[in-house]
Amino acid sequence: MDAPDTGTFATGETLSGPGTQPGDEYLGTVDINGETVIVVGNPNAWANDLAGSSFTGFVAAADPGTYDPVNPVNNFPKDNVTSASFTVCFAAGTLIATPDGETKVEALKIGDLITCEDGRAVPVKWIGRQTVHKIFTPAERFVPVRVSAGALGNGQPHCDLVLTADHALILDGLAINASALVNGTTIAYEPIDSLPDRVTYYHIETENHDVILANGAPAETYVDYIARRAFDNHAEYLALYGEENPIREMPLPRVSAARLVPPAIRARLVDRSAA
């Protein structure tokens, strides 16, 4: 601990108190439904589920960065957290096609019209927002994929597109996760050292599972095989709609592994990377 008399500490330090209180490692803070809370516990206690990676620890609902060394047993009201999942979204700055031109994903609002690949204009039902932290997230989940301009062919995307690894792009009638398209050159993982400690991603929900245009490339909207509770602003969704509304996935085969990408698509990506 930096200063036991004031109770300040830094990420990665071990907290210990008098008596038999075991030391817990301060893992940092996490955003849950818009509230910043402290997490302490075992940083190696990772789990995996269908929604992605999760961590196990204790969430302390108190101001981040403070700790009472005098009474460490009852210093925080604690909740055991076992399913803070990470999800699939667009990076801030992604340009989403609308009838009035392109708009940054973080600037979209509920009710705004966005343009689907087939030309339809559909309203935004909700924008899920999720902040992820290096300290909580395995690198393969934290690090997004950068799709370079033109990497998909036909000028798509028109500028570099950054999205999480499990977010699908639509190619030749297939929903292909970005991670399955990685070729190490024109489609590659971002260097983890280039990323800040906290990254916020955005996912667009419409009434149905649609194909929209992100930086000019066809990409999926939200589908609820990933729980909405994983988003920072889940409480907003519940306040608006009162209950979780299911979304049927569009009838497109999903490709989640590179070995399953059809040879024709793989060859096209190779050709583009060599161009």
To which residue do tokens 């509770």 refer?
Answer: 229
Polymer length in residues for the chain: 275
pLDDT tens per residue across span 93-134: 999 999 999 999 999 999 999 999 999 999 999 999 988 888
In which band, very low, low, confident or very high, does the pLDDT at 236 lie, cut at 50, 70 and 90?
very high
Q: What is the pTM of this model?
A: 0.69
| 47 token code pair | 């789990």
> Three-state SS across 148-202?
CCCCCECCECCCCEEECCCCEEEECCEEEEHHHHCCCCCEEECCHHHCCCEEEEE
Partnered with residue 36 across adjacent β-strands are 31
Is the distance from CB of 177 to CB of 258 less than 8 angstroms? no
pLDDT for residue 235 is more than 90: yes
Using CA atoms, how far residue 106 sits from 3, 68, 114, 192, in Å, is 38, 37, 13, 22
Which pLDDT value is given to residue 199? 87
β-pair type (161-163, 145-147): antiparallel
Tell me the average pLDDT of the chain: 76
The top-scoring range by mean pLDDT among 34-43, 128-137, 236-245 is 236-245
Question: Of 11 and 198, which is predicted with more confidence?
Answer: 198
Q: Within a 10 A sphere around the Cβ of 49, how many other Cβ atoms?
A: 11
In which band, very low, low, confident or very high, does the pLDDT at 193 lie, cut at 50, 70 and 90?
confident
Using CA atoms, how far residue 148 sits from 152, 219, 269, in Å, is 8, 15, 11
pLDDT for residue 252 is more than 60: yes
Which pLDDT value is given to residue 29? 52
To which residue do tokens 């393969």 refer?
Answer: 140
pLDDT for residue 28 is more than 90: no
CA–CA gap between residue 257 and residue 200 (Å, rounded) = 25
pLDDT for residue 65 is more than 90: no
Is the distance from CB of 77 to CB of 169 less than 8 angstroms? no
Q: Within a 10 A sphere around the Cβ of 188, how many other Cβ atoms?
A: 17
Which pLDDT value is given to residue 11? 45
Which pLDDT value is given to residue 80? 37
Partnered with residue 10 across adjacent β-strands are none
Is the distance from CB of 185 to CB of 167 less than 8 angstroms? no
β-pair type (254-255, 174-177): parallel
Which pLDDT value is given to residue 8? 43
